[in-house]
Every structure is written in C-alpha cells, then in structure tokens.
C-alpha cells in the first residue's frame, strides 16, 4: 500500500502504535498510517500529533476464522450476526460508544455468556485504543465488544487472549484460536490463510504526522507543567489510574513463575544431559552434542514460537507451559556445558583416591567430585540464570502477559515510555539481584573459603 501510494517512503517496522508514536515524536520516522478510530484517539491523547485530512486509502475490516469446518460454521454465524448489527443500528452504537473519551476506562460487559454451545478462543491485540485494549486487567474496545455480543447471541463462552498482531493469523491457522477481531484489514494474501467474515467496518487509513510539521497547526496555548509536576502526573497515569500497578504485579508473578519452573526443570535436564555424556558411549556423546549445538544455535524467541505454533499448536498446551518447556530446553543445553566444564576441572586423581579407599563410582562422584565442581559451577550458573530471567521478556510473542508485555499494555494506554520502561528495568534488576543473592548463599554453604570470607567481612 505504501509502495503504491507513497513510493518515496523508506519503511521501518514497529510492533505497536505506542512505538510508532515515540518514533514519530523523536524524529525517527516522518509519518505512520492508522485507521480513523485509532488516529483520532492518538491525536486526542497527544497534542504533538496530527492527521492529514486526505485518506491514503479506504479499508474493509473483517473477523477471521480458520479454514476448517468449524471455522466455516462460525463464519456463517458471524456474517449473519454482522448483518443483524448493521440492520438494527447496534454496530453504529458500538462505535459511537467506544469513541467517547470516558469509555476508555470501561471494560467490555461479559455477563450473560451461557456457554451451552462451548467456549470460543478469541484473539485480539489488546494494544489499540479504542479498537482493542485492556482496562483493569479486562479487555475493552469495539472489537472485543462485538466478539462478546456474538458469543452471547449464539450461546458460547469466550476465552480472551491478547496477542501480538503478527501472531494472530498463525494462531488461527494452527488452531490455537477460534476467531479474531483485531482491526484486521481484509487482503487477498490474508485470505489465503484464513477465512474473513463480511466486513463489519470500513475505515479510512489516515497519515499521522507531527503537529509541528503541519502548516495549519497552531502553537499550544496551555502552560506546560513543571518537571516534578509532570513526573507526578506521569506516575499517576502509568501506575495509579485504573489500578495499573496490579497489572505490574501480575506480570511479575508470571515472570517469576516461568523463571522458577524453567530453573528447576532446566537444572535437572542440564544435569541429566551432563551425566549422559559421562557414560562414555559414543552415541550418547553424539546425541548430547547435537542437542546442545541445536539449542545454542537457535534464538530463544524462535524456539518459543516453533514450540507454540508448530509443535504444540494443536495440542491445547497452555502458553505458560510452552514457555516453561522452551526455557527448560534452553537452560538444559547451556547448563549441561557449564556443569561438564566444572566437573572436568576437578583432578582425576580425586576419583582414583576415592575408589582406592573403597568408595563406589557413585559415591566418589557425589561425595567428592561434584561438591568440589559446584564451587566452580555456581558463579557461572548464576549468570546463566540471570540471562534466563531476562530472556523471559519475549514470552509476550505467544500471548503471555509477563512483566514486559504488561509494560507494553500500559504504554499502549498512556503513550509514555519513561515510567513503564524504567519501572520494568528496575524490577528486572531487582529480580536478578535476588537470584544472585540466592546463588551466593548456596556458594557460601558449600565452599569453606566463601564462608571464611563472609565471616571476615
């Protein structure tokens, strides 16, 4: 579309309107495109933005379903439902309601969902005000409103997932979601992968620019607040309003859960792989080597999406468990190499001496070799666990609301980067510090030299 209408443009990719807004305000880009509803909200929320009157193109928006019998049946129901909403004026009322500023703090009413015909898994972005966004941890906006009304009409319950736009169509194709309404433009290429309902909305695609670059833009008359007053307002918007601090707490809980479980299972897997390689079998060594090289050579986010969309796509495994499995496999590969290096650093004479004293191979390893190796393993392992914690920030790609994802959700409402990002960085730092303290305490228990150093201090 940009190539056809604005051929001199150099294209940059961003994940959300929040990031686009920051890029525009900091002069990284000159414009971006948004639907009428999104553009209106952006310009109302930020006086530094403006839109050009002439639309770039008119767009049709539709609901999406899988290309299978269930998807076809749901599409027929949705087509029927959309016609009804248009005929009785309900669709117009929905868009009129969510266009009001006061509606930005109201979640969708999900009462009256009977569920006698089952539960539908619904995917939406959750970061596009007023189309699809989060209020007090609950979904809101025009598209979720239509989806809930549809489920109420046809006797379904609804299970809502907030998903990055790029992950919605793969999720539908792989039967992770039954349908989606997320301001998705109907295109021929998308039709090859999913079924579209008849358009439930047509919108203008507008160019959003900096207000200062528009000749007709008048200088702001409002007096700018002072530095500390701005900080106080920003803090209130990002953390106090709509109890957004609760989103942060829930995100911390999810991040800690994934990190803790992956640490436990990943450490057990790392030890198992390490011991597997110590059996002396050529086959065991080869298999372990392939596993380690494969995992070390695969980016974590790619591994995460392969597991979620390809391997476990049709098995109904919850996203959190997919994340735990991905990080367990990743830690198992790196951790096994750390353990192997630590064990190999112990002089072989220790084993021989233990055997000469009548100890078994097992006793020699667990009573003499491994405790000494742990002194070398733990400091390096601490860094690996901190890396694991930080790597969990990509789980938002598979619709998990971890600490980073909820930060994105807050930024999508406030269009501010400072407090959400700084708070996220500080929390990750504190969690990493706690991990370091735990490993340090373990090291002091097993290393006499560390205990002596601690007492000396």
SS (H, E, C) 191-226: HCCCEECCCCEEEEEEEEEEHHHCCCCCCCCCCCCC
For residue 58, give every residue at least 6 positions away whose Cβ sits within 8 Å of its Cβ, in sequence order, or none.
Answer: 202, 203, 204, 205
Q: Percentage of residues in the chain with pLDDT exceeding 90?
A: 51
d(CA 341, CA 4) in angstroms, rounded, equals 57
d(CA 325, CA 404) in angstroms, rounded, equals 19
Ranking 13-22, 191-200, 325-334 by mean pLDDT, the lowest is: 13-22
The predicted model gives 152-169 an average pLDDT of: 92
Confidence of residue 184 (pLDDT cuts 50, 70, 90): very high
For residue 144, give every residue at least 6 positions away whose Cβ sits within 8 Å of its Cβ, in sequence order, or none.
Answer: 108, 122, 124, 132, 160, 181
The answer on pLDDT for 456 being more than 90 is no
pTM of the entire structure?
0.78
Cα–Cα nearest to 42, from 173, 211, 190: 211
The predicted model gives 181-197 an average pLDDT of: 93
pLDDT at 215: 61
d(CA 247, CA 140) in angstroms, rounded, equals 15
d(CA 258, CA 266) in angstroms, rounded, equals 11
CA distances from 62 to 59, 79, 275, 302 (A): 10, 10, 54, 29
If residue 317 lies in a helix (H) or strand (E), which one and from where to where? none
pLDDT at 450: 54
Are the CB atoms for 405 and 396 separated by under 8 Å?
yes
Confidence of residue 309 (pLDDT cuts 50, 70, 90): confident
DSSP 243-310: GHHHHHHHHHHHHHHHHHHHHHHHHHHHHHHHHHHTT--HHHHHHHHHHHHHHHTS-HHHHHHIIIII
The predicted model gives 215-242 an average pLDDT of: 72
Cα–Cα nearest to 332, from 397, 258, 265: 265
Structure letter (DSSP) for residue 47: T
Structure-model confidence comparison of residues 371 and 87, the more confident one? 87
Ranking 161-170, 328-337, 409-418 by mean pLDDT, the lowest is: 409-418
The predicted model gives 396-417 an average pLDDT of: 85
d(CA 262, CA 275) in angstroms, rounded, equals 19
The answer on pLDDT for 448 being more than 70 is no
The answer on pLDDT for 269 being more than 60 is yes
Confidence of residue 314 (pLDDT cuts 50, 70, 90): confident
The predicted model gives 404-427 an average pLDDT of: 86
pLDDT at 15: 79
d(CA 29, CA 36) in angstroms, rounded, equals 20
The predicted model gives 241-254 an average pLDDT of: 90
pLDDT at 216: 52
User: Coil, strand or helix: which one is 153?
Assistant: helix
Confidence of residue 76 (pLDDT cuts 50, 70, 90): very high
User: Coil, strand or helix: which one is 137?
Assistant: coil
Structural domains of the chain ordered from first start: 63-198 (3.40.190.10), 243-456 (1.10.3720.10)
């Amino acid at each position: 579309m940009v190539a056809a209408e604005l051929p001199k443009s150099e294209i940059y990719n961003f994940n959300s309107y929040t990031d686009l807004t920051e890029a525009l305000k900091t002069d990284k880009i000159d414009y971006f495109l948004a639907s009428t509803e999104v553009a209106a909200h952006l310009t109302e929320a930020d006086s530094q933005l403006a839109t050009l009157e002439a639309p770039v193109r008119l767009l049709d928006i539709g609901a999406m379903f899988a290309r299978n019998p269930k998807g076809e049946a749901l599409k027929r129901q949705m087509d029927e439902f959309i016609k009804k909403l248009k005929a009785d004026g309900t669709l117009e009322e929905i868009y009129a309601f969510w266009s009001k500023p006061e509606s930005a703090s109201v979640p969708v009413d999900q009462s009256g969902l009977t569920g006698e015909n089952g539960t539908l898994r619904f995917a939406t972005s959750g970061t596009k005000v007023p189309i699809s966004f989060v209020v007090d941890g609950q979904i809101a906006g025009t598209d979720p409103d239509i989806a809930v009304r549809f489920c109420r009409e046809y006797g379904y319950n609804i299970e809502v997932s907030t998903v990055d736009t790029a992950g919605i169509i793969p999720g539908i194709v792989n039967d992770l979601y039954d349908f989606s309404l997320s301001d998705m433009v109907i295109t021929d290429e998308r039709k090859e992968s999913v079924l579209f309902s008849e358009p439930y909305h047509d919108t203008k695609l507008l160019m959003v620019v900096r207000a200062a670059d528009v000749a007709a833009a008048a200088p702001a008359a409002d007096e700018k607040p002072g530095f500390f007053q701005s900080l106080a307002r920003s803090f209130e918007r990002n953390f106090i309003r709509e109890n957004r601090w609760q989103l942060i707490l829930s995100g911390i809980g999810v991040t800690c859960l994934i990190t803790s479980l992956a640490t436990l299972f990943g450490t057990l897997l790392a030890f198992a792989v390490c011991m597997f390689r110590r059996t002396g079998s050529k086959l065991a060594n080869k298999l372990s080597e392939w596993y380690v090289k494969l995992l070390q050579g695969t980016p974590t986010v790619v591994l995460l999406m392969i597991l979620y969309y390809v391997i476990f796509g049709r098995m109904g495994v919850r996203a959190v468990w997919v994340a735990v499995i991905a990080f367990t496999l990743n830690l198992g590969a790196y951790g096994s190499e750390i353990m192997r290096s630590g064990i190999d650093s112990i002089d072989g004479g220790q084993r021989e001496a233990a055997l000469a004293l009548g100890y078994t191979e097992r006793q020699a390893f667990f009573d003499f070799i491994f405790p000494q190796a742990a002194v070398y393993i733990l400091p390096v392992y601490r860094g690996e666990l901190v890396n694991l914690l930080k790597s969990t920030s990509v789980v938002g790609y598979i619709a998990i609301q971890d600490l980073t994802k909820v930060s994105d959700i807050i930024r999508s409402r406030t269009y501010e980067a400072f407090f959400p990002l700084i708070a996220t960085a500080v929390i990750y730092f504190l969690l990493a510090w706690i991990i370091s303290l735990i490993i340090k305490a373990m090291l002091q228990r097993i290393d006499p030299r560390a205990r002596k150093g601690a007492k000396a201090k």
